[in-house]
Chain A
Amino acid sequence: MNEFLLLLAINAALVGVVIAYWRKSYLNNIFSGVGKYIFIFLAGWIGFSIIIGLFLAFQDLKNSKVFSYQLLVGDVIVALRFFAVGLVLTFLLTWTAVRVSKRLKQKN
């Protein structure tokens, strides 16, 4: 349960950082033409994390034969870990896109 709360806090912080950075970069129009695709990638990754969680939940429910709250929390934790990886990747991609755009502007 501690890990669950910790992961929730980490994910909330990451969402805040990604949105703040993404919004600032988007408003300044320095996204190197891939901003839309970074957003689609994040959406796909969120879907992937949810499906991973569902898959593990179904597998645990199949094997355990009994509905268990703790098993499901364990699966949510795995999904949250995947989600955090996706957020970090999104931030890195956004940061790289902004860097490339700035470099191209300086060249021109």
Chain B
Amino acid sequence: MNTMLAISITELHNDGGLFCMVPLSILLTINIGLVIYSIFSLAQKKEVSKFVEAIRQIGVLAAAFGAASTILGLFEAFGALSRGNQVWPFEVIMGGMRVAVISVMYGLFIFCLSFLSYIILKLTSKNIVD
């Protein structure tokens, strides 16, 4: 746990690869924006079902993109390992695996955050609108 805390989020973001992590960060930003907008709309007793559904869909998209990125990363890593004639050190392979799971971890984090927001907003809107 201490090791986990020691790693900064920026470092993880860079380690995961910008091609995979930047789209996920964009999805997270959009979702945070939608959540804030929905909260303000609910405070004014407006209909928010469209935005709440969008939050859920973006969460699913983030999880799928994270999983696809990890599979692509593993595919490339195993390809590189099979092409090389030398025996790679254990820590190099483990380092590659660590990097490969970063994007799926980020995607699932966004997924969980989105579903949590979705359920809470849906329950709140039912309570307020009904």
On chain A, the residues within 8 Å of B65 by CB distance are none
For the complex, count residues of B whose C-beta is within 8 A of A: 29
| Residues of chain B from 99 to 121 with CB closer than 8 A to chain A in the complex | 101-102, 104-105, 108-109, 111-112, 115-116, 118-120
On chain B, the residues within 8 Å of A97 by CB distance are 119, 123
Are A60 and B3 in contact (CB-based, < 8 A)?
yes
The CA-CA distance from A33 to B56 in the complex, in Å, is 14
Tell me whether A56 and B130 are in contact in the complex, defined as CB-CB below 8 angstroms, given that A51-B101, A62-B95, A89-B116 are known contacts. Answer: no
Q: Closest residue of chain B to A55, judged by CB?
A: B101
Q: Closest residue of chain B to A93, judged by CB?
A: B119
Tell me whether A45 and B101 are in contact in the complex, defined as CB-CB below 8 angstroms, given that A33-B122, A34-B122 are known contacts. Answer: no
Confirm or deny: A68 has a beta carbon within 8 angstroms of a beta carbon on chain B.
no
User: Interface of B with A (CB < 8 Å)?
Assistant: 1, 3-4, 56, 63, 90-91, 94-95, 97-98, 101-102, 104-105, 108-109, 111-112, 115-116, 118-120, 122-123, 126-127, 130
